[in-house]
Amino acid sequence: MALVTPLSPEHDLETKKLSEFFNETLGFCPNSVLTMQRRPAISKAFINLNKAVMANEGRVTSALKRMIAWVSSNATGCRYCQAHAIRAAERYGAEQEQLDNIWEYRTHSAFSEAERVALDFSLAASQVPNAVNAEIKERLYQYWDEGEIVEMLGVISLFGYLNRWNDSMGTNIESGAVESADQYLGKHGWEKGKHDGTQY
């Protein structure tokens, strides 16, 4: 059971309307948002930030943004967000070979050098203490411009919030997210952990 119980999608109609965004990204409204709406200003601000961060502005594709989110969530250990990120990457057209080999992004031929540095940036920026350094900066600038780097760090920072929220909350994971996580992450030991509804 989560630390705080999610409310009905009907609780706050403004949040419900904004949450239609997640029907595209995930196929359902996440329990995290249904919990945030206990303070509707938080749920609405979060959804609007999510929409702004995940907007497709060009070369940092929607699929790559979700893979950046997965690397960040994997680094912090949030199994709820790992599952959501891999599901969204799948729904936004990440190549099958990339989904199947996301754990090996540094060496697998399905990933370009530009994608590798974006994912390495996510890993470094998600660590505590932060591991972004001059080498990461130099590699980023070989492939990406400053606006694109801002987009990537927006994703990493958004998932920093989500990783803290969902791991602390023990948010109950939805069946659709479990399905995607089992398919792509299960072979590496992914499991629901505290998100299975039995803790707290």
- The residue-averaged pLDDT of 164-176 equals 96
Percent pLDDT > 90 in the chain is 95
The Cα-based distances of 100 to 13, 30, 117, 197 in angstroms read: 38, 24, 19, 27
pLDDT band at 199 (very low <50, low <70, confident <90, very high): low
pLDDT of residue 198: 73
Please tell me the distance from the alpha carbon of residue 135 to that of residue 56, in angstroms, as a whole number: 27
List pLDDT tens digits, range 27-60.
999 999 999 999 999 999 999 999 999 999 999 9
- The residue-averaged pLDDT of 73-82 equals 97
Domain 61-190: assigned CATH number? 1.20.1290.10
End-to-end CA distance of the chain: 6
Helices (H), the chain: 13-18, 20-25, 31-36, 40-54, 62-76, 79-91, 96-100, 113-126, 134-143, 146-169, 175-184
- The residue-averaged pLDDT of 126-149 equals 98
Q: Is the pLDDT of residue 84 over 70?
A: yes
Please tell me the distance from the alpha carbon of residue 25 to that of residue 89, in angstroms, as a whole number: 9
Q: Is the pLDDT of residue 105 over 90?
A: yes
